[in-house]
Structure 1
């Protein structure tokens, strides 16, 4: 529909409408001015109706656009809420899978005794399925390994294992002295 607010009333007194005016004057017996006034009034009434209909249509279209926008926003919010719920569920799942730290009793004590272990040399021999004397696993052998062991800063040496060059603690290559 074209915007009727830009329309202007035709000039009913002009030559274009002279034939219609003459016919109306003859049919109704009114004066020329009364016929022209009646035509202008009729046009104005029709113009008002067209303007009102156009404004109503514009209002309906604006309302439809607003409703569509609200529906789009509501759908986006629903999708966002769904994504947020999914993310929350995934976080909850991840939280369930996270290892939990066990509680502890404050009154419990920790021993100050370290159980003796065999030397790295003996363990390495077992790992390689090689012969190792039983003394290394005796209490004396484990005590000796504890006395002579060092911290993390042990000396390291190169060795060949399965055709590959590897680094191992030097203590894995030399036997401890036996008593």
Structure 2
């Protein structure tokens, strides 16, 4: 049976106060033979915490699915816009005989999406740690500037599985502007985490690792709200 979808963030839930006098009175009838009230209460707390952690993991998974759906919807809108522009240009072409014909095989880019550096993506492909800075808007902007100043044909030797192969220099060159995770603002972390999780998925990271990291970010965000 499929799980019922959660309607609200379980991080806002608060464990019932099993130790208050009214609750202890209600629990008297639930005591088993030779079981103390403290044992019963501890069992209830453990059961609540287990269910709470399961809901937290489910909520993180739901958020990941919703983000993926939003990205897919955005992609479809961009594709529809591209086709509309191509249709408008094809209709307008006969009215301007002096203009050169359109290249029908050339894709029209309508939106430029921020992209992390080759160095950061290469780190993820190797299942290695990489700073969150590379996935912030500033880090992606830095990567874009670096790509324009670094030759795409420049190669450097690298050792992979005991073999020497040549890879682009950009894949091994960290940014000189990188900011450590601890020095990022929470707003920068919040923006960067979505791009990081998506790139981890594209790089083939195990689903349980992605879910665990997603849960960590949501717990941190929830903790920040309660402070």
TM-score if structure 1 supplies the norm length? Answer: 0.38
> Given the two structures, how large is their TM-score scaled by the length of structure 2?
0.30
Higher relative contact order (CA 8 A, sep 6+): 2
